[in-house]
Amino acid sequence: MAARTKPSSDIAYLCRALKAPSLAASVERLSERARVESWTHEEFLAACLKREVASRQDHGGENRIRAARFPARKSLEDFDFDHQRSLKRDVIAHLGTLDFVEAKENVVFLGPPGTGKTHLATGLGIRACQAGHRVAFATRARPPGGPPRRAESSLTVLIEGAVGSITSDLNEAPSGTAPPLIAKLASQAFPPAGAGAPEAGRHAPS
Mind listing the pLDDT tens digit for each residue in 108-147?
Answer: 888 888 888 889 999 999 999 988 888 888 865 555 554 3
Mind listing the pLDDT tens digit for each residue in 66-91?
Answer: 898 898 999 999 999 888 888 888 99
Most confident of the following: 22-26, 195-199, 202-206: 22-26
Let me know if 70 is exposed, middle or buried by CB neighbors in 10 A (0-12, 13-18, 19+): buried
SS (H, E, C) 84-128: CCCCCHHHHHHHCCCHHHHCCCEEEEECCCCCCHHHHHHHHHHHH
The predicted pLDDT at position 152 comes to 42
Contact 194, 167 (CB under 8 A): no
Q: How many CA atoms lie within 13 A of 201 on its CB side?
A: 16
pLDDT at 37 over 70: yes
Cβ neighbours of 203 (radius 10 Å): 16
Per-residue confidence at 194, pLDDT binned at 50, 70, 90? very low
Average pLDDT, the chain: 75
Nearest residue to 95 via CA among 66, 62, 70, 119: 119
Q: Is the pTM of this model over 0.85?
A: no
